[in-house]
Amino acid sequence: MPKTALITGATSGFGEATAKKFVANGWKVIVTGRRADRLATLVETLGGPTKAHGASFDIRDEAAMNTALDAVPEDFRGVDLLINNAGLALGTAPAPESKLDDWKTMIDTNITALVTMTKRMLPTLMERKGAIINISSTAALYPYMGGNVYGASKAFVKHFSYNLRCDVVGSGVRVTSVEPGLCESEFTLVRTGGNQAAYDALYKGAEAIQPEDIAETLWWVATLPPHININDIELMPVSQTWAGFNIHRKPA
């Protein structure tokens, strides 16, 4: 019997590439996302309803999440892997100039929705000795101007992964935090409100990580022998490294 993965935020970027990778290697997938049209197209691309099931809902809406998961067909219910990929950054401004609504949206999406989905799926994953992969970020480790709530939310994801692993020890469930650096995807368009010029400037000449690279990484983590747990994995493109300390200097 093929294994089944539940991938949140699958209508673009990491989630879409990962769904394609897993289905190409014989898994079935439940893919979630807000954009029902994209989700339907993705399901068809993946081979139709025998290989993929689309569950369209806003990840921040717990009731909608539960309704969608309750409606998953019986042959997709045995989930062996949860990939908590849905997440976002909004804005690049420093804290005094940021919008409180943007902060709350990031917290609701990157933290509250992630723990809600995890709690919902944990009994099944424990029963099947499955795995959880949470998508964090290098922003969880290295602060930068404008990172504020986004970086803090991803730090939560990293440490939630660590603490969750402590709590499920002995169950056979594996838990991993994946922390990518500069990756080229819709993420930056969302963060900048659709600013294509900012997107192009960020990635120009950088040879950034691509969604397919992340999909390969998640496949590797998920298919290791079941007695091995990757606690966390940090990735950057070769072109990226750590920034120097920011120093404010008083005018002469």
**3-state DSSP of the chain:** CCCEEEECCCCCHHHHHHHHHHHHCCCEEEEEECCHHHHHHHHHHCCCCCCEEEEECCCCCHHHHHHHHHCCCHHHCCCCEEEECCCCCCCCCCHHHCCHHHHHHHHHHHHHHHHHHHHHHHHHHHHCCCEEEEECCHHHCCCCCCCHHHHHHHHHHHHHHHHHHHHCCCCCCEEEEEEECCECCHHHHHHCCCCHHHHHHHHCCCCCECHHHHHHHHHHHHCCCCCCCCCEEEECCCCCCCCCCCCCCCCC
- CA 23/CA 212 separation, integer angstroms: 14
**pLDDT, position 1:** 85
Reading the chain (252 residues) residue by residue, the pLDDT tens digits are 899 999 999 999 999 999 999 999 999 999 999 999 999 999 999 999 999 999 999 999 999 999 999 999 999 999 999 999 999 999 999 999 999 999 999 999 999 999 999 999 999 999 999 999 999 999 999 999 999 999 999 999 999 999 999 999 999 999 999 999 999 988 888 888 888 998 898 899 999 999 999 999 999 999 999 999 999 999 999 999 998 888 889 998
**pLDDT, position 133:** 98
Please answer whether residues 32 and 57 qualify as being in contact, where contact means their C-beta atoms are separated by less than 8 angstroms.
yes
Q: What residues are labeled active site?
A: 150
- CA 134/CA 154 separation, integer angstroms: 10
Torsion of CA 219, 224, 229, 231, to 10 degrees: -30
Q: The whole model's pTM is what?
A: 0.96
- CA 68/CA 73 separation, integer angstroms: 10
- Spatial CB neighbours of 209, under 8 Å, sequence gap ≥ 6: 180, 181, 182, 183, 184, 235, 236, 237
**pLDDT, position 230:** 98
CATH number for the domain whose boundaries are 4-235: 3.40.50.720
Write the single-letter amino acid at 242: W
- CA 85/CA 94 separation, integer angstroms: 25
| Helix axes of 148-167 and 100-107: crossing angle, nearest 10 degrees | 20
Q: Residue 13 corresponds to which tokens in the numbers above?
A: 């970027």
* Other Cβ atoms within 10 Å of 9 Cβ, number: 24
Nearest one of 198, 193, 197, 97 to 145, comparing CA atoms = 97
**pLDDT, position 31:** 98
